[in-house]
A and B are shown apart, each in its own frame.
Chain A
Amino acid sequence: MPELIAPIAGNVWKILVAVGDKVELDDELVILEALKMETPIYCDDAGTVTEIKVKEGDAVNEEDVLIVIG
């Protein structure tokens, strides 16, 4: 199952989708905050969001799974 991975360490600033949302390639799904800068994370696969593994304010490491897409 495709997953959205955090490309850099940081804090989850905003989650722009909810479970059940249909997403397309290149959609902005999550905004991470690192070094006081917002970094949008884009979707790599089209599909439906089945699980959101983080919540806003969480600290994430590089490679952590943020969202699972079915």
Chain B
Amino acid sequence: MLDILRELIFTSGFVSLTGGNIVMWIISFVLLYLAIKKQYEPLLLLPIAFGILVVNLPLTFLMNPEHGLIWFFYHYGIELDIIPPLIFLGLGAMIDFGPLIANPKMLLLGAGAQAGLYVTFFAAVLFGFDLQEAGSIAIIGGADGPTTIYLTSKLAPHLLGATAVSAYAYMALVPIIQPPIMKLLTTNAERKIVMTKLRPVSKLQKICFPIITAMTIMLIVPPAAPLISMLMLGNLFKESGVVERLTNAASNELMNVVTIFLGLSIGATMTAATFLSPKVLFIFFLGLFAFAVSTAAGLIMAKAMNLFLKDKINPLIGAAGVSAVPMAARCVHKVGSEANRRNYLLMFAMGPNVAGVIGTVVAAAILLKNLG
């Protein structure tokens, strides 16, 4: 009788529990709280937090290679790079590139904001990260979750949990991180600038855009192909107007399905052994730095453009050049309307915002090409 009881205790998870596991539980509970109570990116944070929790219950072997349930999700979904491009397919089916087509100069802002990536890359190298790790950390500044996951899984898979969580965390924190930088770098008069109306964009232009963009970018930076091809295919579904079922499947059902596996797998990479290291703190710090520098670079780029433009743009929209669609555009709109309540910058900010997505993918492809 006693033997059975002893057997039960020794095969239970309690005996193998480490202090690190318990710290990870606490992190998981905090993330669950933020997801459920504060509704910070709950669609991702909730499965991530639960993934962290279950993988830190000893002896469950959920992440054991070739055996664990979540390992299979992780292996087929993320290691083989299937899920991030599928998310991009859904994003493409939701994004309206109209504001960018109406004002292609916005591409400059989407590109300018990527400067933060390169600054952070060198900063991370100075902090002692190797080149692959530095690239994965720098991409956090692009504020694009799927791209961050895609690049990290190729360059530095051991950092996946940390880079993914910090990318999504900073996206949720856009309304807190960006406004102080925006106010610091612009004058009140600049924030009040009302922009001239965007020209209407024809259906033909909207249909041609994904085709031409896909061809151009893939010819220039072929490693961007997995993400850009799916993004533009999704957009072509949407703009063609003839495959509404595919558009809906890509942006709703498929997107939701892969989000579950993405979140759970990312969470499950965060075992106490991999996550609880001083490196992770540095990643969060450098990620925040990347995000702040990208925001500043976008603003400065917009101010520089104003030196040459007859129709002045409101420099705030430069801050939307980091991707974080549509959080950054909303944030620009809000700060703009605080300065001048008749300033409706939302659609103007969507231009650099969607350009930022393209910019981040291209930046990731360049990093991949040189470091992979």
Contacts and interface: CB of A to CB of B under 8 A. Distances in A.
A35 B326 contact: yes
A8 B347 contact: yes
Most buried by B among A26, A34, A35, A39: A35
A20 interface: no
Contacts of B329: 35
A37 B341 contact: no
A39 B341 contact: no
B282 interface: no
Interface in A1-33: 7-9, 26
Nearest to B331: A37
Interface residues of B, number: 13
Given A8-B347, A9-B347, A39 B333 contact: yes
Nearest to A37: B330
B342 A39 contact: no
Interface string A27-70: 00000001111011010000000000000000000100000000
Contacts of A26: 341
A61 B330 CA distance: 18
B238 to A, nearest CB: 16
A39 B347 contact: no
Nearest to A63: B197
Interface in B348-364: 350
Contact of A37 (B197, B342, B346): B346
A61 to B, nearest CB: 10
A35 B333 CA distance: 11
Interface string B296-318: 00000000000000000000000
Nearest to A10: B346
B346 A34 contact: yes
A34 to B, nearest CB: 6
Contacts of A42: 341-342
B344 interface: yes
A40 B337 CA distance: 10
A59 B346 CA distance: 16
A18 to B, nearest CB: 23
B342 A8 contact: no
B1 to A, nearest CB: 60
A49 B329 CA distance: 32
Contacts of B341: 26, 40, 42
Nearest to A9: B347
Contacts of B344: 7-8, 39
Nearest to A26: B341
Contacts of B326: 35-36
A37 B342 CA distance: 16
Nearest to B330: A37
A35 B342 contact: no
A28 B330 CA distance: 20
B94 to A, nearest CB: 11
Contacts of B342: 7, 42
Contacts of A40: 341
Most buried by B among A9, A26, A34: A34
Nearest to B194: A7
6 contacts: A7-B342, A26-B341, A35-B330, A35-B346, A39-B344, A42-B342
| Interchain residue pairs A-B with the least CB separation, the first 5 | A7-B344, A35-B326, A37-B330, A8-B344, A8-B346
Given A34-B346, A39-B344, 17 more contacts: A7-B342, A7-B344, A8-B344, A8-B346, A8-B347, A9-B347, A26-B341, A35-B326, A35-B346, A35-B350, A36-B326, A37-B330, A37-B333, A37-B346, A39-B333, A39-B337, A62-B347
